[in-house]
Structure 1
Amino acid sequence: MARESFAIGGVRIRAGTVRALELPITRLVTGSDVTLPVRVVHGREDGPTTWINAAIHGDEVVGVEVVRQVMAGLDPKTFRGTLVAVPIVNVLGFMTGDRYLPDRRDLNRSFPGSARGSLAGRIAHLFMREIVSGCEVGIDLHTGSDRRSNLPQVRADLDDERTRELAAVFGAPVMLHAKIRDGSLRHAAREHGAKVLLYEAGEPLRFDDYAVDAGVVGVRRVLAALGMTEPVDEPPVEPSLECRSSGWVRARRTGILHLDAHLGQKVSDGERLGTLFDSFGKTLRAVYANRDGIVIGRTEAPLVNSGDAVVHIAN
């Protein structure tokens, strides 16, 4: 018997097809409708139901390109299961290159949301109802924030066996056991029983090739591990480095920062990472590692104030 059609947003999608649709969010003051773009690959054969999303923060464009490339390589006639792709969740922020929504709320602190809540709450509620509620696994794509760049990494609950297996399969240089934040998509989805991987890589408002490439291959590996596609020909160069905690090194002075530490560099406690200068080149203070570990994030801003986070080290 033919596989049943897939229901979402009031429409039904036949097995063995790809369907693009739009879920209504709100209306602008001009009268134009704002919608959530969704594309569904509903395979001809049975398999898990998974989602992939990007741009919960409107300035995080790396994930949008990851979704595009992943979707371009899928054939619904040979696909097993169903993949729901939402390349841009924070549509309003994405249009203006803004991390937040027009009401200045962080969408990733607004889940599970409410049908009668704030704009952020309504988008979160829509996403939970139409996307998360019917899925078993989700991949949430992010980049660094506030002029910061991130080493490709998967953040997840590594104490959950199945989640840890999928994080390892993704094959990013680092997989970090990350605490779940209240109001995040990962927290709300876990309450629904879904296994969620959060991918962090690159810098806001940039298509960093290293971040895009690692994300595309990682998502493809997870889909293959779930039995939705054929195995990927690109195994990880080496297993992901498992990290259980992380912390930021902060500037001790205000000045112009010259960072020597690069993403992926392994450092030792007390190792020199960079130097702060004044505008005439006078050395103000060196920046030192505060733990042993690997650099998973760094600021790209040359001007820093005392107390600013400059290097993120996982150990």
Structure 2
Amino acid sequence: MKRVARDSFAIGQVRIRPGSARELELPVTRLVTGADVSLPVRVLHGREDGPTVWINAATHGDELVGVEVVRRVLAGLSAKTLRGTLIAVPVVNVLGVMTGDRYLPDRRDLNRSFPGSPRGSLASRIAHLMMTEVVAKCSVGIDLHTGSDRRTNLPQVRADLDDPVTRELAEAFGAPVMLHAKLRDGSLRHAAGQVGATVLLYEGGEAWRFDEWAIAAGVDGVRRVLGRLGMIDEDASGGFTPADGAGAAAGGGDTCGEDPLVNVECRESTWVRARHTGFLHLDVTLGQRVEEGDRLGHLSNSFGRTLRVIRARRGGIVIGRTEAPLVNSGDAVVHIATPA
């Protein structure tokens, strides 16, 4: 039976032939200097039929782990063998990345500005461009994030685990933790879901760092999702223990003997907050299992005198922690998710 050739793929002002890849720029705005600012996009349009999927990173300008995840994923793919179409947007918040800022110049949070408007604020216009030129063409998306505000996150997928299709892809990703996360108005995940797309949000690592353990988990996860969708051959699942790079980076601790974390389903999470102002000394690592009442660390004054011991208010898995050495009363210090 003769194979019917796929149509070319239209995005922006260009069309991409089957079996080819193309880098392009979608115009966003013009600076006061007259220089144009554009959304960088790379499209791989496979020769064979398959789903159309997007991956994006740096919706917040200080979250760079996902940028490297996108680069490595693209480096391992070829449009000649890919089944379906992949749209990659490595930097959504171009201005934020350029200025080293989480937000846009008008201080708006891009991930609270979707679905946007073609005549709204700068954030709203970028959101609208992303929705119309990327999301509207896709059935599945993977939104890559990291911790913010001097926080680091365990590799984790946040998604609607009550939706069977979303759950299947979350399990395929194979992150240490799958967190059933509520939708937030204005987020890319919420807006994309409203138009029928299945979206996974990946969290891992710390802002303004290339944490290798978070990058590797993201690359492996994205490839496994593409495999589950039939776009590439499926990759094997991995695992994560607190003794991995994340644990070492987070301050150590005896984690030998802990079972690897893979797809641990969690339905609730909460931040343990400091009840005193002082210098923070944390004892727990990312991925570590804790019980209610366990010591997580302590606060001291500038002379080293202990001011307050920090303890877990519930049992669960440490999925995030602050890296700030000085905290004020009320600051979030350890994020604990409770397995279902």
Q: TM-score range by the shorter chain?
A: over 0.9
How do 1:144-163 and structure 2 match up within 5 A?
144-163=147-166
Among 214, 220, 238, the alignment partner of 1:236 is: 238
In structure 2, what is the Cα distance between the partners aligned to 1:281 and 1:63? 38
Matches within 5 A, 1:93-172: 93-172=96-175
1:41 equivalent in alignment to 2:66: no
Residue 270, structure 1, aligned to residue 272, structure 2 = no
Aligned partner (choices 272, 275, 282) of residue 252 of structure 1: 275
Q: How many residues align?
A: 314
Aligned equivalents of 2:233 and 2:314: distance in 1? Answer: 41
The amino acid across from 1:290 in the alignment is: R
Q: Which residue of 1 aligns with 2:12?
A: 9
Identity %: 74
Give yes or no for the alignment of 1:86 onto 2:89.
Answer: yes
C-alpha separation between the residues in 1 aligned to 2:102 and 2:86? 26
Structure 2, unmatched stretches of 5+, are 240-260
Runs in 1 of length 4+ with deviation above 6 angstroms? none
Q: Report the TM-score, using the length of structure 1 for normalisation.
A: 0.99
Aligned CA RMSD, in angstroms, stands at 0.7
Q: Residue 64 of structure 2 is aligned with which of 44, 61, 64?
A: 61
1:90-127 Cα shifts (integer Å, max 9, x gaps): 00000111100000000000000011100000000000
AA of the residue aligned to 1:121: S
Shift of 1:2: 1.4
> Which residue of 2 is the match for residue 174 of structure 1?
177
3-state SS of paired residue (1:58): coil
**Gaps spanning 5+ residues in structure 1: where?**
none
Corresponding residue for residue 208 of structure 1: 211
User: What is aligned with 1:20?
Assistant: 23
The CA deviation at 1:239 is: 3.5
Q: Distance in 2 between matches of 1:10 and 1:80?
A: 23
Cα distance between partner residues in 1 of 2:211 and 2:291? 27
Letter of the structure 2 residue corresponding to residue 303 of structure 1:
L
User: Which of 201, 204, 221 in structure 2 is aligned with 1:218?
Assistant: 221
**Counterparts of 1:179 and 1:240 in 2: how far apart (Å)?**
18
Partner SS, residue 276 of structure 1: strand
Structure 2 counterpart of 1:235, one-letter code: S
- Tell me which amino acid in the other structure corresponds to 1:269: E
